[in-house]
Amino acid sequence: MQRDLRRILGLFFLLVSFLVLRFAAATACVLLPLLTVLDEYEVANVVVTARLVSIEKTKEPDPMHFDIRSATMVVQKVFKGKLKVQDAISFAQGNGIDCLWEFDEKMIGREYLLYLNSPDEASNLWYLGQGRSSEVSDAANDLLYLNNLDKVRGKTRVSGTLDDDFPVAGRNIRIIGKNKTFQTPTDEHGVYEVYDLPPGKYVITPGMPYGWIIDRDESFPTVSERPMHSKLYKAFTLRPKRHAVIDFAFKIDNVVEGHVYDQNGRPLANAGIVLKPEKDNSGESSDFIDKKGRFRFESVSAGRYNLIVHQEKPGSRPLTSVSYYDPQKSNLLTTLTVNLKHGESLRGLKIFVPTTAGSSTR
């Protein structure tokens, strides 16, 4: 029964992958939840590491494919399939909407972990789409399993990677089940793994420094995850003899928010506001003040900032949510300086735009 279920699961994911690749040219590429390492291994008929050695340009200009026809890699190690070390395989170039990888000359010399399905006999090009394929430097979780496949085959496995927004080595991972809590540290790559946990439903929480929370917008979900909205936990289901992969990304837990008013105390609508660091412009961000005069910035690093309220000059393009303050294109209405500590929020700010330059808050 279990073997039949695996076979059905494999056929399902093969069908989905085929449909995405087949019809993506007519529709935008649809991102699917990531498979686990085990699922991806079972679905693929070739799993290898390979080094990119050359890029083939198109004979005629082809802007849609960045003037690239294909990329060639040389196999370095084989985990599954009939390819051999030093075999050369060439990949079709993507165009940004067909789910295929887009190659360029900067990638030459880099090594990749690839989960592949062999091309049709009529084609000499392989196709590399969305999934767990990645540069080897980003594949530590997968390689931990693949390099020990014979020893751990058939065991349950819970694993994942912590994004390196802060030092992630040695972080304590707690996996909480119905009757028992399991703990394991992350390695030097921010990767954790636990084998032989009983099947069932779990929540999992990583050790995070003060002022950080889970960033669900940047942490791409896997098929293992269950819906949960906690800032500190994720939830997943572990099936018998299967894997669960739970990755984490993080963000600073704070906001800077408030209202902007004109000199008469009425909400100032449809203007722009920029949160600009006093020393480092790389952390600059922009927001669009809504009809009620509201603005909001999230996950702001500690430091001193200028809140710059501005409007587009007459005759210029309409202000958008990504319109940064440009003295050549915007009128400066007022500026407010704020000092933010790590993990601290500034709420309820009231910024008044006076008739003359300057600013005031309440």
Contact 201, 175 (CB under 8 A): no
The confidence score (pLDDT) of residue 312 equals 84
Q: For residues 21 and 97, give the distance between their C-alpha atoms in angstroms, rounded to a whole number.
A: 10
The confidence score (pLDDT) of residue 189 equals 94
Q: For residues 152 and 163, give the distance between their C-alpha atoms in angstroms, rounded to a whole number.
A: 25
Check: pTM over 0.85? Answer yes or no: no
User: How many beta carbons lie within 10 A of that of residue 81, not counting itself?
Assistant: 15
* CB proximity list for 111: less than 8 A, separation 6 or greater: 49, 50, 51, 52, 76, 135, 136
CA atoms within 13 A on the CB side of 32: 20
Where does 239-318 show beta strands of DSSP type E? Answer: 243-245, 250-252, 255-261, 272-277, 285-288, 294-298, 303-312
Q: For residues 289 and 330, give the distance between their C-alpha atoms in angstroms, rounded to a whole number.
A: 15
Instruction: Please name which of 34, 52, 30 lies closest in space to residue 43, comparing C-alpha atoms.
Output: 34
Task: Return the H-helix or E-strand segment holding 42.
Answer: helix 37-43
The confidence score (pLDDT) of residue 355 equals 66
| Domains of the chain with bracketed CATH | 2-137 (2.40.50), 154-252 (2.60.40.10), 255-361 (2.60.40.10)
Contact 170, 186 (CB under 8 A): yes
* CB proximity list for 274: less than 8 A, separation 6 or greater: 284, 285, 286, 287, 306, 307, 308, 310, 324, 325
Instruction: Please name which of 64, 133, 58, 68 lies closest in space to residue 106, comparing C-alpha atoms.
Output: 68
* Amino acid, res. 359: S
Ordered strands of the 225-226 beta sheet: 181-185, 172-176, 200-206, 234-238, 225-226
Low-confidence ranges of the chain (pLDDT < 50): 1-27, 357-359
- How far are the Cα atoms of 49, 227, 271 from residue 87, in angstroms, in the given order? 11, 43, 59
The confidence score (pLDDT) of residue 107 equals 96
